[in-house]
């Protein structure tokens, strides 16, 4: 296996809620890696899925839509003022006294 992710053409995914997609397509929709999805399945969090023949994983487009809409926005600029100082781990800075 190479470290280069495989390109997924999302224009070929059927835009209907009953369509089933594999984990590569779902990872492309979410913008994450397949490893993230595997970890979420192992921890029983994330989008509902179906296991086919014991190994193949499929996600339903309707479940993906509902799951993504239920997640908080995150990363937006409307969360709070930008001029707040954030504490960082480690030793505090020296004071000039």
pLDDT tens for 73-97 read: 855 444 445 555 666 678 877 887 6
pLDDT tens for 9-66 read: 777 777 788 889 999 999 999 999 999 999 999 999 999 999 999 889 999 999 998 9
CATH number of the domain at 10-72, please?
1.10.1660
Contacts 24+ apart (CB under 8 A), 21-26: 21/58, 21/59, 21/61, 21/64, 22/56, 22/57, 22/58, 22/59, 23/57, 23/59, 25/59, 26/59, 26/64
pTM: 0.65
């Amino acid at each position: 296996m190479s470290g280069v992710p495989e390109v997924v053409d999302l224009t070929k995914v059927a835009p209907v809620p009953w369509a089933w997609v594999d984990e590569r397509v779902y990872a492309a929709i979410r913008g994450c890696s397949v490893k993230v999805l595997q970890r979420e399945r192992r921890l029983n969090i994330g989008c509902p899925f179906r296991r086919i023949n014991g190994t193949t994983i499929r996600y339903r487009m309707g479940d993906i839509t509902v799951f993504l809409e239920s997640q908080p926005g995150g990363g937006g600029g409307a969360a709070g003022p930008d001029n707040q100082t954030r504490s960082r781990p480690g030793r505090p800075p020296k004071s000039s006294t």
